[in-house]
């Protein structure tokens, strides 16, 4: 049987502000296995980013159980959750979130430098170079990130997200700021990474891209309404 990376059971999220309660997620259950490439689509405001924040341990659910690699997240204190986030989760956002003052190499090295493992410099150099090769950005290692095209910046962001070898890559609209050619390159890269074994959970509005996933989910009003469909028609429903 394949390893379970993530298991959500009966997850709900209610945002409470002074006078309104917003039910962003209602009773969401989901299992993600090692090697899965899961895409999630759904209309604006349906809860996609909320779900991603909970999966990424950036926010906590109001109700339900969430396990990362069989460890129950609600039983962890904030320090432990941060440790799991650093060790097990890689993030790729629509806005690349790179640090302009640092070189491409140093941006990718950041998660290793912040890791509790205390990696040796030789290991960091080797691992960063390996990841830059994977995303075909070795030739720009010493450039500042603001000297790169959008597509190149996203590829660097992906290298940074995989450098610490996370159990899962969480990706939110990775092509939202890219032209279609760069977007295609980024999507092909994610597909390649998945074929090499990286587990991916991706939010995308684009049915063409969702179709690259091995499992396609739809979120609507905070509820997972369809699972394991391979039909692109259902994604535009
Ligand atoms: N911090 C917050 N406080 C209060 N309500 C929030 C907060 N964050 C999100 N919401 C509400 O929760 C619901 C889900 O928001 P979410 O950002 O998850 O949607 P989304 O599916 O990612 O939308 P989009 O496609 O536009 O990015 C929305 O109704 C939103 O207004
Ligand atoms: Mg969103």
Most ligand 1 atoms within 8 A of CB, residue of 46, 54, 62, 221 to mutate = 46
Most ligand 1 atoms within 8 A of CB, residue of 14, 21, 48, 56 to mutate = 48
Residue 148 lies in a domain: no
CA pair distance 237, 234, nearest whole angstrom: 5
Domain carrying residue 174: 4-97+109-116+160-230
User: pLDDT at position 75, please?
Assistant: 86
CA pair distance 60, 214, nearest whole angstrom: 27
Q: What is the pLDDT of residues 82-97, one digit of tens each?
A: 989 988 999 999 999 9
DSSP 25-63: EEEEEEEEETT-EEEEE--TTSSHHHHHHHHTTSS--SE
What protein residues have CB closer than 5 angstroms to ion ligand 2? 48-49
Q: What is the pLDDT of residues 133-169, one digit of tens each?
A: 999 999 999 999 999 999 999 999 999 999 999 999 9
Ligand 1 centroid – CA 47 distance (Å):
6
Residue 132 lies in a domain: no
Ligand 2 centroid – CA 40 distance (Å):
11
**Could you tell me the strand order of the sheet in which 4-16 lies?**
21-33, 4-16, 63-68, 71-72
Residue 103 lies in a domain: no
Residue 136 lies in a domain: no
Structural domain count of the chain: 1
User: pLDDT at position 226, please?
Assistant: 59
Residue 131 lies in a domain: no
């Amino acid at each position: 049987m394949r390893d379970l990376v993530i298991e959500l059971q009966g997850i709900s999220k209610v945002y409470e502000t002074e006078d309104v309660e917003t039910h962003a997620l209602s009773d969401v259950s989901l299992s993600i296995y090692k090697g899965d490439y899961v895409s999630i689509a759904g209309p604006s405001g349906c809860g996609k980013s909320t779900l991603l924040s909970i999966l990424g341990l950036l926010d906590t659910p109001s109700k339900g159980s969430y396990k990362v690699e069989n460890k129950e997240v609600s039983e962890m204190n904030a320090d432990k959750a941060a440790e799991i986030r650093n060790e097990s989760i890689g993030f790729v956002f629509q806005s690349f979130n790179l640090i302009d003052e640092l070189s491409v190499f140093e941006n990718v090295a950041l998660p290793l430098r912040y890791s509790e493992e205390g990696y040796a410099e030789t290991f960091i150099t080797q691992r960063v170079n390996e990841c830059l090769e994977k995303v075909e950005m070795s030739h720009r290692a010493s450039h500042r990130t603001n000297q790169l095209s959008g597509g190149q910046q996203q590829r660097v962001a992906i290298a940074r997200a995989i450098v610490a070898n996370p159990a899962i890559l969480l990706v939110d609209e990775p092509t939202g700021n890219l032209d279609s050619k760069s977007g295609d390159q980024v999507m092909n890269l994610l597909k390649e990474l998945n074929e090499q074994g990286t587990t991916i959970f991706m939010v995308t509005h684009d049915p063409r891209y969702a179709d690259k996933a091995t499992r396609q989910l739809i979120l609507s009003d905070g509820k997972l309404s369809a699972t394991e469909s391979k039909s692109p028609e259902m994604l535009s429903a």
